[in-house]
Amino acid sequence: MRKIFIIIILVVSMSVLLLSQSGSKRNAIRNYMLVFEVTEYSDQLREAVVYFFKKTFLPGDQLIVITPARFYGFSPKTLSIPKDQLISKILGTLKNDINLWASKYRIILEEMKKSVQLIAGGSGSVEALISGDQLQAYRQNRANLSILRGSYEEKLKKYADVFRRVRGDNHLLMFFQQEFRPIPDIGAMTILRGQDSTREKVNEVFLGEKFEAEIDLEKIQNLFRYAGIKFHFLYLKGKNIRYTSGVEYIENTGHLYSLFSKLSKATSGIKLVSSKPSSFVKRVRQCVEGKVTVEVTEEEMEK
């Protein structure tokens, strides 16, 4: 409820600010929403934010920043302070919020890893391992990861609603970090799935996708088109994970990569898969200035 209340305030504030502009000036305004769904504050992310404010964000543009913890709206007075001060303020907030959210995220992943290690290295029958507390704990933590991220259908609807009520060129930049989760390694999985009585349960808990809510992509695309939003999507590649005995890691956000890629394409936005957020922001700047209007492929990104 608190987030919904904050969004309503932001919608009203942005609407009043933009509608108070003269007609000719209003057409030049760009409305930006920066959404950070990341678990690590890095130098590369800092450089991307600095580039955005120094090269892309112009006087008169409007801004909302959404961190993993909160929504932030900025008044014209705040946006008019010296740019270095504004950048420092936003970076400090972003760092604190990401670190706060990441600590919760890491606790869940560490608990999942412990469960996997106990299952993979456990003794006794396969049935006993599968029916034990650790499998249930792992199942619950998969659900906890989804709860921590929240409902993306609801988030995207709210973002579209904010833009629908304002005028100007609307750009949403999504910084989304690739996520991995631990599962038993191939040797342990072979044993755990070796019996007909356990195979279905093992597949469901470790490999199934029932933990993720369905998203009506067509509805979201229509909302974004109606609001005139270009959805720019960075899939921030994760670091190499050190494997431990009995544990390997699989991608846990492939379904969201697919969703956001389709939404980006449907709204003529930029899509990039990279470990370099600055490359993404530079591409977005080109799109904003009308210099590039096509989806960026992974192959182009690596050049």
Side-chain half-sphere CA neighbours of 171 within 13 A: 28
Rounded to an integer, the average pLDDT of 39-50 is 96
Q: What are phi and psi of 185, to 5 degrees?
A: -70, 175
pLDDT tens by residue, 245-294: 789 999 999 999 999 999 999 999 999 999 999 999 999 999 998 876 55
User: Does 17 have pLDDT greater than 50?
Assistant: no
Quickly state the pLDDT bin for 19 (edges 50, 70, 90): very low
Quickly state the pLDDT bin for 16 (edges 50, 70, 90): very low
**Distance (Å) of CA 57 to CA 54, 132, 205, 242, 273:** 7, 54, 45, 39, 23
Q: How far apart are CA 176 and CA 65, in angstroms?
A: 14
Quickly state the pLDDT bin for 124 (edges 50, 70, 90): low
pTM for this predicted structure: 0.85
